[in-house]
Chains A and B, each alone.
Chain A
Amino acid sequence: MAQKKKLLQGNEACVEGALYAGCKFYAGYPITPSTEIAEGLSVRLPKVGGKFIQMEDEIASIAAAIGGSVAGLKSLTATSGPGFSLKQECLGYACIAEIPLVIVNVMRGGPSTGYPTGPSQADIMQAKWGTHGDHPVIAVTPSYVQEILSETVRAFNLAEKFRTPVIVLYDEIIGHMREPITIPVPGELEVIDREKVTCEADEYFPYDERYEIAPLAPFGSGYRFHVTGLNHKKDGFPTNDSKQIDANNRRIMRKIENHKEEIWKNEETFLDDAEVVVFTLGSTARSARFAVNKAREEGIKAGLLRPLTIWPFPDKAITELSKRVKAIIVPEMNLGQMTLEVERCSKKADVVGIHRVDGEPITPAQILDAIKKHK
């Protein structure tokens, strides 16, 4: 099968990515600027026998998607800021019940209704801390339309592999931007499917501690078990035993923590000899790339570190980098969410934030100015 070239919008690429990954269930609620994902899947999913449902609200959407996943289908829901806020309780449920799920959040200006048609990157911390309680989070952050496709596939893979919700986080600019992309042929990108349960029914425990991540049997497959948002034992039933609560809470964190190297994905440009490094994601990384190239043309040793996984935070890369560069510049369309994290991880380098919350993108010129100031 030959590769297909298409001119697609970011949100349309997300649809392609979901289908490539084998998504068979979508539940959502209309919200700008993510609605094109729902519109696209409402057409495409039924063609492959998949299920599309428009639910009554954002909460119902993620709840139904979790239900679809428990029933064995790769499930997706997509939203934007206010909807992402509403989904937080269910997100925590998927974390503790360990249900694979992909949630796309196309970031718009906030807080509240904010600036629905304008971009932002102000949900970075919400993606990590939005739901209550300690919980693991994986969030991937594409910068290009092509990458929205491939990162959506990676999100499904991570969700299935680690039995956890994964967030695809990108801003409105790339959500609505059109770029020519290549639709990968089957086999070109890795697709991870849910591990099949093969043991005897009476030997199956959905949270079996003999595994770091026990396989999840779909409902109706002959393995009758219990799922709850309460702290639970290996059989899924609630427990008040402090030892078990502690063990389970730590295990769900550890299953991500222990595999950070595998989950992290950074793009490094000119880092070998860099003295000033820009650390940024999403559409801002596109401005940053332009600025870094310009700086290099002018003889400034600038580099770019672009995380495609923002959670778990790429602390190791930042810490190592901070020991050998003068400054890390962190442009972001918020008032300093990533900057805070970079400050936490930076050992020696100065950390310089560039913040913008007026609904306009951060320009290459702004970043170039900062590079020059801190070279």
Chain B
Amino acid sequence: MAEPAKKLAKIVINERLCKGCSICIDFCPTNVLELKGSCVAVKDLEACTRCQLCDLRCPDFAIQVF
């Protein structure tokens, strides 16, 4: 990797609020998220572009990207 390491996003998942509907996982353009049990989890943080689509479409106030 020649390019300087970009600053990683911080994805905050509220496990108490997540209902595991998978909307955020399915609509993530870079495949960052996965379902673990009945809650979303980060699979590939480096791929995150901070587009915030997961937050925007999360019905449960359960995920935020900083």
A and B touch in the complex (CB under 8 A): no
